[in-house]
Amino acid sequence: MSQRYLIVASRFNDLISKALLSGATEVFSEAGIGASQLDTLWVPGCFELATVAAQAARSNTYTAIVCLGAVIRGDTPHFDYVCAQTAAGLQQVAVATGTPVIFGVLTTDTIEQALSRSGIKGGNKGKDAAHAALSMAKTMQQLKELTKR
Ligand code: INI
């Protein structure tokens, strides 16, 4: 069966999300994943990533789902709630559905730290997220073959 991937990106801090998205897209393209095998959806903030990931995973359409965004610490505890619930929500979707859900969300104290992890000033965690999705696709295929025997 041909592979199909979904990227879900958060509009909040969209300068960072767009840079992560471009890194992820580049890696998929280098891996031979064509435009027809890669869908992208946007959500308002990282808190909403799990909602879309859950529905997408339940549809059994995607080999893996890559979630991208940046949560940057502010002056209130809001950061902690968004980070914790985003991470827990995405992990829950992955474990409950068996569809790999990749946590490509930066959680940083400052915008500078986010910039230096999104390819704008340094490495790009969006690329790492796409690599993780491709790697999980392989592992899940291996597992399928092993459990058929
Ligand atoms: N969403 C983010 O993706 N990053 C943030 O840094 C952020 N901060 O700092 O508040 C953020 N908040 C919005 C949140 O994800 C939801 O969209 C909002 O609470 C509506 O549910």
58-94 pLDDT tens trace: 999 999 999 999 999 988 999 999 999 999 999 999 9
pLDDT at 149: 79
User: What is the distance in A from the centroid of ligand 1 to the CA of 20?
Assistant: 17
Single-letter residue type at 103: F
Position in ligand 1 atom list of the atom nearest CA 43: 17
CA separation, residue 31 to residues 28, 78, 131, 138 (Å): 5, 37, 9, 12
Q: Any catalytic annotation for residue 78?
A: yes
**What does the domain layout of the chain look like in residue ranges?**
5-147
Q: Which CATH class is domain 5-147?
A: alpha beta
Nearest CA to ligand 1 atom 7: 71
Q: What is the mean pLDDT of the chain?
A: 96
pLDDT at 122: 85
Q: Read out DSSP for 71-85?
A: EE--SSTHHHHHHHH
Nearest CA to ligand 1 atom 11: 45
